[in-house]
Structure 1
């Protein structure tokens, strides 16, 4: 990582200069100055690099909103050049690209990017875990979800998604355990509580309460999604007629 090497080089040079000019007895002072210079230069370079990365992501997001999906992906890929400068940049870019492919249902292209995505991006982790589930790799699914809930324990949907995937695997015991763990992290979360009660009553989980955030994972049947969209359009037309 260039940032670490440059910052370390600056600190080392400062330490050597102080020791050579002031004598070996000043080693403690030299190290202190070196640490300050290392921290300052590392922080400065990090801010510069992340500013450039965020600019690329904002541009890519605007293109995505304008339905220029391929252009958005190309722009994100160009940001990989900053990955050698700053830790976690590569994982964040991989997560963004993987999510875009997943959202457009290009699951085969999404998978390699999601595999290398940043663990703190719980949406990308959820998509990756679902992909493992569909490939009947339950151990990998569990491992990925565990990483997601470890990084984002306060996200209600990731706990519900984790449990839902266990129900898809017909392991309702694991699903209940996950929801109980989620409620320990989010006591009073009505959505998790309602879904746990549903499973205890041998009923299906209700994921629609999470709205569009749930739909982005493409676990709802297409026919159901189309009915929901048609119902929404019908309600909109009725509101227009009344006006």
Structure 2
């Protein structure tokens, strides 16, 4: 990308006079060139990513104000930075894909999610769930494996993976996934609770994750409304004296 090329050219040209004019040994010229490259590339990369973050934050404000279309336009404006910095395109695709998925515009979200940065685990999980809904268990599993490999310390990824496996009738695989998740995360109570639920033939309790869980739209609307109403009623109850 352009930031990389600019840093490389600058570091190379800066080192040439050190050898030709000051007769500095090539080994030292090379070391100086590497240091210059690292410093310049870091500064250029940070400048580009700061510009991208401004766009993302602006889009988030638009989303909070329910200006979804404006947020999409803002995010798409970030593609102009893709030629400057590695992985920017994947990150912008991830942001757009997750936004469309949250709107339940699953068909439009899919191509963006498919081009997402693999370390954006929310986007990758949304992609995996999309494949499950499209009856493509092979792609679902492959995508979840990528998400888990990139974010192995995130318990929710393992729990969601297992939930989807159980949903398509692969309970044994779900239990194996949860065990692997416990090992990778160093232990997690919710993963252990999910294993126990599956062993007893019960449904995994994903509601404990709150909005993190609900954003994947795996709860039926009626069930979700009922739970939210019950929670609201619980908060309104006066404590006994």
TM over 0.5: yes
Q: Does 1:206 align with 2:205?
A: yes
Tell me the residue number matched to 1:49: 48
1:30-109, aligned counterparts within 5 Å? Answer: 30-109=29-108
**What CA deviation, in whole Å up to 9, does each residue of 1:65-102 have, x standing for no partner?**
01111101100100111111111111111111100000
| Aligned residue number for residue 4 of structure 2 | 4
**Counterparts of 1:114 and 1:17, CA distance in 2:** 48
- Are the equivalent residues in 2 in contact too, given 1:93–1:117 (CA < 8 A)? yes
Q: How well do the aligned residues superpose, as a CA RMSD in angstroms?
A: 1.6
Deviation, 1:154, is 1.4
User: How many Å separate the matches in 1 of 2:142 and 2:224?
Assistant: 29
Q: Which runs of structure 2 are paired with 1:108-123 in the superposition (5 Å)?
A: 108-123=107-122
Distance 2:82 2:192 in 1: 41
Task: Provide the residue aligned with 2:160 in structure 1.
Answer: 161
Q: Give TM-score scaled by structure 2 length.
A: 0.94
Q: How many residues align?
A: 239
List alignment gaps of at least 5 residues for structure 2.
Answer: none
Contact 1:14 1:30 in 2 (8 A): no
Give the match's secondary structure for 1:22: coil
Residues 16 and 98 of structure 1: CA distance in aligned 2, closer, same or farther (over 3 Å): same
SS of corresponding position for 2:21: helix
Q: Alpha-carbon deviation of 1:21?
A: 1.6
Deviation at 1:238, TM superposition (A): 4.8
Shift of 1:26: 2.0
* Shift in CA distance, 29/186, structure 1 to aligned 2, threshold 3 Å: closer
Unaligned runs of 5+ in 1: none
Q: Which moved more, 1:168-177 or 1:131-140?
A: 131-140
Partner of 1:171: 170
Query: 1 CA distance for matches of 2:6 and 2:187?
Result: 48
- Paired with 1:158 and 1:146, the residues of 2 have a C-alpha distance of 10
